Structure 1
Amino acid sequence: MKQEKTKLGKFEMQLLAYAQFRKKEFISSGEIASALDINAEQEWKLLNRMTTSGLIIRLKRGVYLVPSRMPAGGRWTVSGYYILSKLMEVINGLYQISGPSAFNFYGFDDQVPNRIYVYNDRIFGEKEIGGTDFVFIKTDIKRLGSTKSLKTPDGIDAVMATKTRALVDAVYDWSRYNTLPRAYGWIAEMLKKEPTIVEDLISDALQYGNKGTVKRIGYLLAQLGIADNRLLEMKQKLGLAKSLIPWIPGRAAKGSVNKEWGLIVNGSIPRS
């Protein structure tokens, strides 16, 4: 069944023409009332009508994203990555995509997420923007990094966490994503295929993880046969005080004690 084309009224046409003639990607509340010589209520109804019909995208209160040309069929369809990039441009934010979005992208998990998970330094919470659901995780700017550029079909360079950074996030943010012990299996499988990537994993764990993350990944790497001298920096970060935590959180803390890494070993590495 064909989707019915959105009918454009006089003001809709004028708004799009105004933005396109001036090559404006963004328009703001108040701007259109003046440009089209309408009052504030008419402007609000116009913007709301165009957002609802998919002609423009409301990025945040009072700021809208406008297409560079008339959308085919009257509805503007862009990727969530495009919307995310433009939102971060408006709020002057730094960001990177990680979590389930990255786990699926790198093939660790075959479940396709219905939301895009975004670490950033500006906003937090779940938001629906332009038909895409986002989970914004506000974090310290020091925890942003280890990324790669991802070219989208829209021509946007989205910012994706690297493979090793995504794995560190799976361990660090295990309670958010329910990824332990699965992530241990992902790491083991990755190192079988790409053994040279272990240095990047160690570096990311040290820079972007906490002590719990370093303990858990360090113990895992030791179990996978990584030489002790390559794990020295991880041990130095932990220092002498090694209070015990479970290797697999959420399970009963019953198992052997590993004093070297400060862990109660309450499970094994999942096998693929």
Structure 2
Amino acid sequence: MENPKKLTANYILSYLYQKEVMYFTTKMFSDLFGISKTKAHQSVFYLKQRDLIKEVEKGKYLVLGFEPHRVLSNPFFIASRIIYPSYISFRSALNHYGFTEQVPFTVYVATTKRKKEIQFGNYRYKYIALSPHKFFGYEKQMIGELPVLLAEKEKAIVDSLDQLQYAGGFEEVAKALFNAKNEIDNQKLMEYALKTENKTLCSRLGFLLEKYQMSMEGLKNSLSTSFVPLDPDKPKSKVWDKKWRLNVNITDDKLFTWRQT
């Protein structure tokens, strides 16, 4: 089928790259190129036939270009292009930085928008909506020669403490923080924790920083006003930490069992 309005594959891809459009709908395509919806549908079909784009969701397409394997083999790039703005965080970022051995087949993505989970290829893409004031602390990194927005090391820890269910739970985040201690900026970690305005997070982080003999003084004025569980997934114990306003419902032996292996 001849492509309408002389929109060659080279021209289309060059223009999409120029506009930094890697994920689009037919309507977006129509608006970008100033063509009718009918012609846009024809162009999209033309690109699909040549494996230059791939339908990820119904009516939504990922640009593959002339090196489709480079894109399809990079789940972080795909994840961060499906919705904008967004960045890779939580368990995915912890694993990327080598702070946890868990290799998740779900890519965890922080965004300010609500988005349903997507299954595409061998991965699931889980989008976690953050309050706007928590959407910070990310940077552009080149992964597999493609640009990806990724949480900074400190923010990956903070995001994970903020929403433990997306990072493998409290024990896994405690382990990740220990593994990260020589690679992160302690002051930045505390500043990021304070910026989330989550006092429960600050209590739990302060407890761990003290255990790891890291600086934690900056958190002392931003703790939970009532006692909260150290591990929210475990039952209450009879051990209370007045300094950090915590119900310590997990023993050191259990929490740090990985240090003995």
Structure 1 length-normalised TM: 0.72
Q: How does 1:1-150 map to 2 (within 5 A)?
A: 10-11=1-2, 18-22=8-12, 23-25=14-16, 29=26, 40=38, 47=44, 51=48, 54-58=51-55, 62-68=59-65, 71=66, 78=71, 79-88=74-83, 93-128=84-119, 133-150=124-141
Q: Which residue of the partner structure matches residue 7 of structure 1?
A: none
Q: Which residue of the partner structure matches residue 170 of structure 1?
A: 160
**Contact 1:101 1:116 (C-alpha < 8 Å) held by counterparts:** yes
Q: Aligned letter for 1:95? A: S
Q: Which residue of the partner structure matches residue 260 of structure 1?
A: 243
Q: Aligned letter for 2:175? A: G
C-alpha distance in 2, partners of 1:46/1:80?
26
C-alpha distance in 1, partners of 2:175/2:117?
29
C-alpha distance in 2, partners of 1:178/1:218?
20
Alpha-carbon spacing, 1:185–1:53, altered in 2? closer, same or farther (3 Å): same
**Following TM superposition, by how much is the alpha carbon of 1:263 offset from its aligned partner in structure 2, in angstroms?**
0.6
Q: Which residue of the partner structure matches residue 216 of structure 2?
A: 231
**Following TM superposition, by how much is the alpha carbon of 1:253 offset from its aligned partner in structure 2, in angstroms?**
0.9
Sequence identity of aligned pairs in percent?
21
Q: C-alpha root-mean-square deviation of aligned residues, in Å?
A: 3.5
Q: Which residue of 170, 175, 190 corresponds with 1:185?
A: 175
**Contact 2:4 2:43 (C-alpha < 8 Å) held by counterparts:** no
Alpha-carbon spacing, 1:67–1:174, altered in 2? closer, same or farther (3 Å): closer
**Following TM superposition, by how much is the alpha carbon of 1:133 offset from its aligned partner in structure 2, in angstroms?**
3.2
C-alpha distance in 2, partners of 1:53/1:18?
12
Q: Which residue of the partner structure matches residue 160 of structure 1?
A: 150
C-alpha distance in 2, partners of 1:198/1:254?
30
C-alpha distance in 2, partners of 1:66/1:182?
35
Alpha-carbon spacing, 1:105–1:52, altered in 2? closer, same or farther (3 Å): farther
Decide which structure has the larger Cα Rg and report it. 1
C-alpha distance in 2, partners of 1:52/1:111?
37
Alpha-carbon spacing, 1:47–1:105, altered in 2? closer, same or farther (3 Å): same
C-alpha distance in 2, partners of 1:266/1:131?
37
Alpha-carbon spacing, 1:214–1:185, altered in 2? closer, same or farther (3 Å): same
Q: Which residue of the partner structure matches residue 3 of structure 1?
A: none
Q: Which residue of the partner structure matches residue 189 of structure 2?
A: 201
**Following TM superposition, by how much is the alpha carbon of 1:60 offset from its aligned partner in structure 2, in angstroms?**
6.0
Q: Which SS does the other structure have where 1:253 is aligned? A: coil
Deviations 1:247-269, CA, capped at 9 Å, x for gaps: 11211211311112111112224
**Following TM superposition, by how much is the alpha carbon of 1:173 offset from its aligned partner in structure 2, in angstroms?**
0.9
C-alpha distance in 2, partners of 1:86/1:219?
37
Q: Which SS does the other structure have where 1:260 is aligned? A: coil
